[in-house]
Amino acid sequence: MKVSYHGHSVVMIETNGKKIIIDPFISGNGSTDLNVDDLVVDVILLTHGHDDHVGDTLELAKKHDALVIAPFELATYLSWQGVQTHPMHLGGAHTFEFGTVKFTEAFHGSSYVIEETKEIIYTGMPAGILFTAEGKTIYHAGDTGLFGDMKIIGERNTIDIAFLPIGDNFTMGPEDAATAADWVRAKKVVPIHYNTFPLIEQDGEAFANSLSGGQGLYLEVGQSTEL
């Protein structure tokens, strides 16, 4: 299984002949190496409804007939836009041909903002994602603050790699993310959701190096690792 990081919270998983992308914020993301026109995906996993996570979902899903897996309200909203969706919710798991997806808690918001009409559309609970395939488990925490049930996630799952936000202001900062890394017990922890814009500037490499026991894994944008 190949896992790669592409700036902000964008993670690509290649497994069982499928390309799975998490939170494909590409257009307007100055920190990504991806180009929507060149990208081919089979499955899109979404943690919540904010623009910097839903990103280019509609274009990619329509272009490649990709399946969008998201919390119920967000999946429903996107299905009304003409894409194929599979709705789920927190605590629920489902096994697909390419792997098993389970949504976990995340403490954040989730909405779609229409600037022109000053509307905010509620898109359900935010989530983290546990993805399991080929005997390996990936944890993408989504946008979240530190919360105690991360201990339970770590106790009940053998996590090979965790992607944790460190940007602060909107999510955990490095200090809380280091505690989260300890609680989820992942073999490797990759920092995400930082440096996309000034308000969330952080040193991802310093964070990774601060984790004990070689747990931290700093991935530059476009870099991958094999599980």
**Calpha distance 192→7 (Å, rounded):** 7
Indicate the SS3 state at residue 73. helix
Tokens 């914020």 — which residue? Answer: 25
CATH number of 2-212: 3.60.15.10
Q: Read off the pLDDT of residues 171-207 as tens digits, 9 standing for 90 and up.
A: 999 999 999 999 999 999 999 999 999 999 999 999 9
> Tens of pLDDT along 52-65?
999 999 999 999 99
C-alpha distance from residue 10 to each of 40, 93, 120, 122 (Å): 14, 21, 24, 22
Q: What is the pLDDT of residues 101-111, one digit of tens each?
A: 999 999 999 99
pLDDT value for 89: 97
**E strands within the chain?**
2-5, 11-15, 18-22, 43-45, 67-71, 85-88, 93-96, 99-105, 111-114, 119-122, 127-133, 136-140, 161-165, 188-192, 224-226
Round to whole Å and give the CA distance between 89 and 104: 8
| Domain layout of the chain by residue ranges | 2-212
Q: What is the pLDDT of residue 46?
A: 98
pLDDT of 3: 98
Angle at the Cα of 72 from the Cα atoms of 76 and 167, rounded to 5 degrees: 110
Q: What pLDDT score was predicted for residue 122? A: 96
pTM above 0.95, yes or no: yes
DSSP three-state, residue 156: helix
Q: Residue 169: beta bridge partners?
A: none
Q: Please state, as a whole number, how many other Cβ atoms lie within 10 Å of the Cβ of residue 74.
A: 31
Alpha carbons 126 and 39: distance in angstroms, whole number: 26
The amino acid sitting at 27 is S
Read off the tokens for 224: 């991958």
Strand 11-15 relative to strand 2-5: parallel, antiparallel, unpaired? antiparallel
Residue stretches of the chain with pLDDT short of 70? none
Backbone angles phi, psi at 10, to 5 degrees: -80, 120
Alpha-helical (H) ranges within 72-173 are 72-79, 150-156
Residue 18 has a pLDDT of 98
Q: What's the pLDDT score for residue 54?
A: 98
Q: Distance (Å, rounded) from C-alpha 172 to C-alpha 142?
A: 11
